[in-house]
Structure 1
Amino acid sequence: MIDTKNIDMELVKKLEDKAVEIRKNLCTFIYRIGTAGHLGGELSLTDMAVALYYKYMNYDPKNPKWEERDRLILSKGHCAETLYTIYADLGMYTMDYLVDHFETLETAVFSMHPNRKYVDAIEASTGSLGHGLSLATGLALGARMSKANWRTFCIVGDGELQEGSNWEALMAAGHYKLGNLVVIVDKNDLQMSGTTSETISIDPLDDKMRAFGFDVIEIQGNDMVEVCAALDSLPPADPVTPKRPICIISNTTKGAGVSFMENVVAWHAGSLNKAKWEEALESIENNRRVR
């Protein structure tokens, strides 16, 4: 288990409050665009994404192409609406702009899967599952060649790990000892067709990642205390010294924070009418942690 004894609880409370805000804004965004989002997986990764963008990544929203920034590849690209919502909250866009420029014929900027040509904060166009981790491995190797001190984070889905290209990337990352690479598995055990464990099991994931040369941290990914403890435990980024890359196995709940969506495979994708949107906002507030 992850050591949580020295966690800054004031920071945890601030990040938890921000995660509540982002969940509400995300549901509002999905309601306003009137088309299907991928709320189940978007909500499961919200706590980790909030911790990264608001505390743990070296990142400047006013300068998203800053050369010294940490890179984040969202390999499960169908969940990009979480990132769009965070970008709006960070002041990069307004919510109205997100809505007005979502999958429009002539003015599209934002789409179901992120496109780096249109959104400056997106590091890689993703959505074809299994590609993001290869890109992240290449970025980490490139940082080593450039002796650049930024770190590469890559968020993958557990169902996505059924794709063989991920294991080629993991094998390469372990071989080159890319200690500046952090792979985060959003392990919510649901994919479009059912449970991951019944579709094609990826377990025991911790043993497999270690066998591929990774150090492994396993947490409850919807518990901000454990999320912070995992990210606090990361060593300083060092692109030059060969070290084992890191895998954070983030055990999460599909639809986390919205009770009627939690662990329901139908909410892998779906839209919100007014009644369901209001119910979702109420549920998020009712599920707010009180510390």
Structure 2
Amino acid sequence: MDTLSLRRKALELKKDFITMIYEAGTGHIGSDLSCTDILVSLYYHQLNVNPAFPKDPKRDRYIQSKGHAVEILWAILADKGFFEKAELKTFSQFDSRLLGHPNNKVPGIEMNTGSLGHGLALAVGSALAARLDGESYHTYTLMGDGELAEGSVWEAAMAGANYKLDNLTAIIDRNRLQITGSTENVMALDNLHDKWTAFGWHVVDVADGNDVERLLKAYQDKEPGKPTVIIANTVKGKGVSDAEGVASWHHHVLNVEEYQKAMKELDVAMEALENGK
């Protein structure tokens, strides 16, 4: 899929998951919006996965450590055919498979996640298993920047470098906001590039992590014998003006006026995209 198609797909999926959140009355809209372009570029260009064979042993593995941003993941899996799109209407309802965090009862989900700080360790295990089994699949994981305050992340980072897992790519959604405010006020993280370099990783900085073209280039930037971490500098709430850069939209539920405004803004963005603006 070319970059124009990826941008179009991102806008379409934003409308899908915002509607899910609005109708369900729950969700993590700001977190979803910041990582939409990351997941769209992964699932529609990079990942080797097939909804017809979700357990193919040759498939790439994706583990969403940032589990609370599940609404965009549900929208993508439905769009790609891992389950019927009509099931999105059941999100967060009683007895639904589509919970508020990834649930491996759903095809396309490798592991239950959402307890922050654990995804990288799971991804290290997946990549190491591929090595031991002589398989060529690649493992990807997406982390929120707030979860980097967890010590388990850095234990996993040491292990990934120790085992020289160049079949592992971690992506950090660096939107600089978490549920209680700025990451730099809660637990300062910078300089992230130097931290990960010191831990033995190949570090790729993406100045605009909401730019699919830059993300696609980043996925190709690897170094033999080292795991890769992509630091994607994103905007929390990207694409919805009321949400952009606002910590309180971490798990905000839209009222009818906010929902209608968001839909209109995304329609305008789609029109501008189609007109080449």
Q: What's the TM-score once normalised by structure 1's chain length?
A: 0.90
Number of equivalences: 272
Give SS of 1:258's match: coil
What's the counterpart of residue 32 of structure 1?
Answer: 23
**Residues in 1 aligned to 2:53 and 2:23: alpha-carbon distance in whole angstroms:** 28
**Residues in 1 aligned to 2:75 and 2:202: alpha-carbon distance in whole angstroms:** 31
The answer to whether the Cα contact below 8 Å between 1:29 and 1:95 also exists between their aligned partners in 2 is: no
**Residues in 1 aligned to 2:213 and 2:256: alpha-carbon distance in whole angstroms:** 33
**Residues in 1 aligned to 2:21 and 2:251: alpha-carbon distance in whole angstroms:** 11
The answer to whether the Cα contact below 8 Å between 1:184 and 1:248 also exists between their aligned partners in 2 is: yes
What's the counterpart of residue 93 of structure 2?
Answer: 104
In structure 2, relative to structure 1, the CA distance for the partners of 1:94 and 1:120 (3 Å cut) is closer
Q: 1:182 aligns with which of 169, 175, 184?
A: 169
**Is 1:197–2:212 an aligned residue pair?**
no
What's the counterpart of residue 204 of structure 2?
Answer: 217
**Residues in 2 aligned to 1:47 and 1:260: alpha-carbon distance in whole angstroms:** 19
**Residues in 2 aligned to 1:272 and 1:66: alpha-carbon distance in whole angstroms:** 39
**Is 1:274–2:256 an aligned residue pair?**
yes
Question: Which amino acid in 2 is paired with 1:232?
Answer: Q
Gaps (5+ residues) in structure 2?
Answer: none
Question: Which amino acid in 1 is paired with 2:30?
Answer: G
Give SS of 1:255's match: coil
**Is 1:66–2:61 an aligned residue pair?**
no
**Is 1:228–2:228 an aligned residue pair?**
no
TM-superposed CA distance for 1:234, in Å, is: 4.3
Give SS of 1:45's match: helix
What's the counterpart of residue 113 of structure 1?
Answer: 101
**Residues in 1 aligned to 2:233 and 2:2: alpha-carbon distance in whole angstroms:** 21
**Residues in 2 aligned to 1:147 and 1:285: alpha-carbon distance in whole angstroms:** 47
Q: Percent identity of the aligned residues?
A: 43
The answer to whether the Cα contact below 8 Å between 1:190 and 1:265 also exists between their aligned partners in 2 is: yes
Give SS of 1:280's match: helix
What's the counterpart of residue 93 of structure 1?
Answer: 83
The 5 A counterparts of 1:221-260 are 221-234=209-222, 243-260=225-242
Q: 1:261 aligns with which of 219, 222, 243?
A: 243
The answer to whether the Cα contact below 8 Å between 1:143 and 1:150 also exists between their aligned partners in 2 is: yes
Q: What's the CA shift string for 1:34-79, capped at 9, x where partnerless?
A: x221011111100010011111111112221111111011001001
Bigger mean CA offset, 125-134 vs 276-285: 276-285
**Residues in 2 aligned to 1:206 and 1:234: alpha-carbon distance in whole angstroms:** 15
Computed over aligned residues only, the root mean square deviation of the Cα atoms, in angstroms, reads 1.5
Give SS of 1:42's match: helix
**Residues in 1 aligned to 2:222 and 2:20: alpha-carbon distance in whole angstroms:** 33
The answer to whether the Cα contact below 8 Å between 2:118 and 2:153 also exists between their aligned partners in 1 is: yes
What's the counterpart of residue 67 of structure 2?
Answer: 77
Give SS of 1:48's match: helix
